[in-house]
């Protein structure tokens, strides 16, 4: 099942797609279900139980804040981060929230929002249960799973084994790199053309371009906002924003660039840092494919736009469509959730997507694109998720900068070849999946291992 470009690239808020956007969407969906059942106005109390990775790292990933906002009817794609801050403050100050934005109830956060750190729900590490009770004792409960990239499934989806999104009639369905290359060869189409043809099943070309340009604009705005912010990131780790200082260094002493041909790497680092610092601060970002890894695709895309000759708006669209086609293969055949397979599913996948997108935008053949995607993941295999303090800051922010540079390297390696190579993308995706299965739970977004236990918080 191919998932849509617009399911992989979602505009939302930080710091985490699975721990912030997913729970916010789930809470919002639960309230909507209450409304549809004509229960909303009679609800007196709502409780939320978080399990597994959501309970273990939810505080650092702002899951509590996301649940409050979702219950109040806020959705990640429409939220204004500044207004959201005020809303959360008001809920906490008054101990009351308006369910779905309309029905006021008491909400005692310490009592009604529980982090069940020793329990895990059966389907996925990111499980949550919402329960609503009316004044006359009637109760309604639902379980949701945040399965990565902001996507949410409920128990009925799990029972049907249904995908969370997508599922439209497309002319070129594919579920492996091999199939994708076969379609490209048979139809004489680029990977971006195949992705566009599939999107055309639900959207006109004009609508596709409007959406792609909106993603490009949101990524660019995130970079620019991140460059303009200073200070310490929230959460107590005392991590300083580095993007503004690096930007000053690059622009105030531009003559240094003439002496150092690797200055381009500093710019790529800057753009990735800017996005991930914004993400860590709860700002507006685009999942690519997740929030934790949201800096890699924008940084490499801007590298394409600023540092490669003949970059065009159409090239940007080709970049995004190709990157999404590759991301969709990982989503279907392995995972894009750090809680399931470690950081290889987030930063590794983003690196693979960006490498493929850049290669396509630079005119690479489908074989070279597949090669770039494979290299992008091969050298991220085994990457663990061990965020210090449960915050999406260390190692996440820097890891995006390194991942972006690695994606450019993967693309360059692929572009000097002819597309033939020893390890296929499908083999590396399967290896990533199996490595994730073998990975100790401590390294899957629990903050119970790795840097999270070896770095002392201060
Ligand atoms: S270590 Fe990687 S997977 Fe884990 S939170 Fe950070 S970016 Fe996400």
Nearest residue (CA) to ligand 1, atom 8: 292
- The strand pair at 127-134 and 43-51 is best described as antiparallel
Q: Which atom of ligand 1 is nearest to the CA of 61?
A: 5
Nearest residue (CA) to ligand 1, atom 6: 396
Model pLDDT, residue 258: 84
Q: Which atom of ligand 1 is nearest to the CA of 384?
A: 1
Mutate to test the pocket of ligand 1, among 290, 334, 381, 387 (most ligand atoms within 8 A of CB): 387
Q: Which atom of ligand 1 is nearest to the CA of 345?
A: 3
Q: Which atom of ligand 1 is nearest to the CA of 293?
A: 7
Nearest residue (CA) to ligand 1, atom 3: 343
- Contact of 4 with 327, CB cutoff 8 Å: no
What lies within 8 Å, CB to CB, of 182 at 6+ separation is: none
Model pLDDT, residue 164: 47
Dist CA 198 CA 370 (whole Å): 19
Mutate to test the pocket of ligand 1, among 272, 395, 441 (most ligand atoms within 8 A of CB): 395
Q: Does domain 15-160 have CATH number 1.10.1500.10?
A: no
Mutate to test the pocket of ligand 1, among 272, 346, 394, 399 (most ligand atoms within 8 A of CB): 346
Q: Specify the pTM.
A: 0.90
- Tokens for 308? 């490669």
Mutate to test the pocket of ligand 1, among 338, 351, 393, 446 (most ligand atoms within 8 A of CB): 338
Give the binding-site residues of ligand 1, using a 6 Å CB cut-off: 292-293, 338, 343, 346-347, 385, 387, 392, 395-396, 399, 445
Model pLDDT, residue 163: 53
What lies within 8 Å, CB to CB, of 169 at 6+ separation is: 201
Q: Quote the distance between the C-alpha of residue 156 and its chain's center.
A: 24
- Contact of 215 with 223, CB cutoff 8 Å: no
Nearest residue (CA) to ligand 1, atom 1: 385
Task: Measure 49 CA to ligand 1 centroid, in angstroms.
Answer: 23
Local structure of residue 385 (DSSP, 8 states): B
**What are the sequence ranges of the domains in the chain?**
15-160, 177-454
Going by C-alpha positions, the residue among 198, 197, 211, 144 that lies closest to residue 166 is: 198
Task: Measure 256 CA to ligand 1 centroid, in angstroms.
Answer: 33
- Contact of 270 with 247, CB cutoff 8 Å: yes
Task: Measure 379 CA to ligand 1 centroid, in angstroms.
Answer: 16
Going by C-alpha positions, the residue among 379, 434, 294 that lies closest to residue 14 is: 294
How confident is the prediction along the chain (458 residues), in pLDDT tens digits per residue?
578 999 999 998 889 999 999 999 999 999 999 999 999 999 999 999 999 999 999 988 999 999 999 999 999 988 887 789 899 999 999 999 999 999 999 999 999 999 999 999 988 889 999 999 999 999 999 999 999 889 999 988 887 765 545 456 799 999 999 999 999 999 999 999 999 999 999 999 999 999 999 999 999 999 999 999 999 999 999 999 999 999 999 999 888 888 999 999 999 999 999 999 999 999 999 999 999 999 999 999 999 999 999 999 999 999 999 999 999 999 999 999 999 999 999 999 999 999 999 999 999 999 999 999 999 999 999 999 999 999 999 999 999 999 999 999 999 999 999 999 999 999 999 999 999 999 999 999 888 989 988 986 65
Model pLDDT, residue 256: 82
Q: What is the DSSP string of 51-86?
A: EHHHHHHTTTTTHHHHHHHHHTT--TTT--HHHHHH
């Amino acid at each position: 099942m191919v998932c849509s470009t617009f399911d992989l690239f979602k505009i939302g808020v930080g710091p985490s797609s699975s721990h912030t956007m997913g729970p916010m969407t789930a809470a919002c969906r639960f309230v909507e279900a209450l409304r549809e059942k004509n229960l909303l106005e009679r609800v007196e109390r709502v409780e939320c139980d978080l399990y597994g990775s959501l309970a273990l790292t939810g505080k650092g990933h702002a899951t509590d804040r996301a649940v409050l906002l979702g219950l109040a009817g806020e959705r990640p794609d429409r939220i204004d981060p500044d207004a959201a801050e005020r809303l959360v403050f008001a809920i906490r100050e008054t101990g009351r929230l308006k369910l779905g934005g309309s029905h006021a109830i008491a909400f005692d956060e310490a009592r009604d929002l529980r982090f069940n750190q020793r329990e895990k729900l059966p389907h996925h590490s990111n499980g949550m249960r919402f329960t609503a009770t009316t004044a006359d004792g009637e109760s309604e409960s639902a379980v949701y799973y945040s399965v990565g990239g902001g996507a949410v499934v409920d128990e009925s989806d799990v029972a049907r084994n249904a995908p969370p999104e997508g599922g439209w009639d497309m002319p070129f369905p594919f579920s492996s790199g091999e199939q994708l290359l076969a379609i490209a060869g048979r139809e004489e189409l680029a990977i971006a053309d195949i992705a566009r043809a599939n999107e055309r099943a639900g959207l006109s070309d004009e609508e596709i371009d409007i959406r792609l340009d909106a993603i490009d604009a949101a990524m660019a705005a995130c970079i620019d906002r991140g460059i303009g912010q200073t200070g310490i990131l929230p959460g107590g780790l005392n991590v300083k924003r580095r993007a503004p200082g690096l930007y000053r260094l690059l622009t105030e002493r531009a003559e240094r660039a003439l002496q150092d041909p690797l200055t381009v790497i500093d710019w790529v680092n800057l753009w990735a840092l800017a996005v991930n610092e914004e993400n860590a601060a709860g700002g507006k970002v685009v999942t690519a494919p997740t929030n934790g890894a949201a800096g890699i695709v924008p940084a490499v895309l801007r590298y394409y736009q600023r540092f490669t000759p003949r970059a065009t708006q159409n090239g940007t669209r080709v970049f995004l469509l190709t990157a999404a086609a590759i991301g969709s293969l990982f989503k279907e055949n392995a995972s894009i959730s750090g809680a399931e397979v470690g950081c290889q599913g987030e930063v590794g996948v983003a690196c693979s997507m960006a490498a493929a997108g850049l290669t396509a935008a630079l005119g690479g053949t489908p074989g070279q694109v597949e090669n770039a995607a494979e290299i992008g993941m091969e050298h991220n295999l085994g990457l663990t998720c061990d965020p210090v303090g449960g915050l999406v800051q260390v190692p996440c922010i820097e890891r995006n900068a390194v991942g972006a540079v690695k994606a450019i390297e993967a693309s360059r390696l692929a572009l000097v070849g002819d597309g033939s190579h020893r390890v296929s993308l499908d083999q590396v995706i399967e290896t990533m999946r199996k490595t994730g299965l073998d990975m100790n739970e401590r390294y899957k977004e629990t903050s119970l291992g790795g840097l999270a236990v070896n770095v002392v918080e201060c």
